[in-house]
Amino acid sequence: FLFFLKLANKTKGKLQKQICQVVLDHFEKQYTTELGDTWTSVRDVLTYPFCWQYAILLNKFSQSAELENTLRVKGYHPAFQGPLPYLPALLKCYIRKTPGRFPAQKHRAGELKEYYLLNAASLLPVLALEVKDGEDVLDLCAAPGGKSVAILQCAYPGNFHCNEYDDLRSRRLKQTIESFIPDPLIKFIVVSKLDGRQIGDLKPELYDKVLVDAPCSNDRSWLFSSDTQQATLRVIQRKELPSLQFQLLRSAIKALRPGGSLVYSTCTLSRAENSDVINLILNSCSNIMPVDISEMAKAVSQEFTFLSGTQQHELLVLPEKGRAWGPMYVAKLKKM
């Protein structure tokens, strides 16, 4: 018993060294104000990666009954089983109650992967977008590509435009698409490296659905920044993110056809990057209306914990022990 206790303390010590104190102190100050007592339990999950959970999104283009059987044997079950407003039959995602990570598959040229590991909350923006066959879709900030892959599990867009401005991330996006999507379908996917703030002017009213999974202060990864100087710079530059997110949203609205829908998402708890950005858009764009997504939230409330008091067009997934998904903010808008 003493041996295991020493081992646990040693592991805990190593883990503590990995946490970036600069970021934690910043989060402590902001989120104690914004989340109150809830922040304590959220912080416990975020600062302890051993309790994080990972979902397995199956690839319909490389189906394996054997894989599904293996997952069930290992205690996995389908993530989305409730009466969701939108749940395509071919979108299959498996989760389990206990933490642990299924082995990742390596990229092999000419060979499709069978599954994609992700935070299950990452699929909520895709479900909120409700893509139908034949619709023209823009994924404005698409890297690393998990949501793009998920969209293609749901439907066959008429035109699918995946954009990523950052060069390194764009290469990763291309590799992800090559790993999951067969050649005949790849021909219908456009991958670009445009500045997302300019796409609306370059391609006005071209899309039926737009996903803006915006660059944000990624709470999970920022907490474990190994470079203290970089982390300090990130914290300083954090206040500039809402302006960028607002500009990306304005661009996305221009790119959207009248009657089209837009989903905005981030993986941060920050109110300034979430509700405040959406409120600013709603107050400054007379042709944009909020869309109620509360039914979707109700349908998945068994698996996810949501912040209470949000408006009907938005939700915020809070990491919680036993349901260690998120953070994930989702808001849905429609262009009139």
What CATH number does the domain located at 15-335 have?
3.40.50.150
Return d(Cα 111, Cα 134) in angstroms, integer. Answer: 26
145 annotated as belonging to a binding site for a ligand: yes
**Residue 127 confidence (pLDDT):** 98
What is the band of 202 on the pLDDT scale with cuts at 50, 70, 90? very high
* Rounded Cα distance, 113 and 121, in Å: 21
**3 state DSSP class of 291:** coil
Q: Is the pLDDT of residue 130 over 80?
A: yes
- What does the pLDDT look like over 48-103, one tens digit per residue? 999 999 999 999 999 888 999 999 999 999 999 879 999 999 999 999 988 888 99
DSSP 50-84: GG-B-EEEE-GGG--HHHHHHHHHTT-EES--S--
Is 36 annotated as a binding-site member?
no
Would you say 144 is a known binding-site residue?
yes
Q: Residue 64: its pLDDT value, please?
A: 83
Is 164 labelled as part of a ligand binding site? Answer: yes
Residue 6 has pLDDT above 60, yes or no: no
262-309: pLDDT as tens digits: 999 999 999 999 999 999 999 999 999 999 999 999 999 999 999 999
CB neighbours of 245 closer than 8 A, spacing ≥ 6?
Answer: 212, 214, 215, 216, 264, 266, 273, 277
Taking the C-alpha atoms of residue 65 and residue 58, their distance in angstroms, rounded to an integer, is: 11
Adjacency order of strands within the sheet including 115-118: 77-78, 93-95, 55-58, 115-118
Q: Which of 51, 216, 267, 285 is catalytic?
A: 267
What is the share, in percent, of the chain residues with pLDDT greater than 90? 88
DSSP 267: S
Confidence label for 106 from pLDDT (cuts 50, 70 and 90): confident
pLDDT of residue 5: 40
Which pair of structure tokens corresponds to residue 19? Answer: 């946490």
Phi, psi of 291 (to 5 degrees): -115, 130
CA atoms of 162 and 148, how far apart (whole Å): 7
213 marked among binding-site residues = yes
* Residue 311 CA from chain centroid, whole number: 20
pLDDT at 81: 84
Question: Global pTM?
Answer: 0.94
- The pLDDT score that the predictor gives to residue 17 is 52
- Model pLDDT, residue 65: 85
Phi and psi, residue 159, nearest 5°: -130, 135
Residue ranges of domains in the chain: 15-335
pLDDT at position 42 over 90: yes
**Arithmetic mean of pLDDT, 6-35:** 75
Q: Report which DSSP code applies to 106.
A: P
Sign (positive/negative) of CA torsion 295, 296, 300, 305?
A: negative
Q: Is 143 annotated as a binding residue?
A: yes
Catalytic annotation on 51?
no
Residues paired with 314 in a beta bridge? 331
Whether 8 shows a pLDDT value over 60: the answer reads no
pLDDT tops 50 at residue 199: yes
- 255 carries a ligand binding annotation: no
Burial zone of 162 (CB within 10 Å; 0-12 exposed, 13-18 middle, 19+ buried): buried
What is the pLDDT confidence band of residue 2, given thresholds at 50, 70 and 90? very low
Report the range of poorest mean pLDDT among 100-104, 145-149, 164-168, 221-225: 100-104
128 residue type, one letter = A
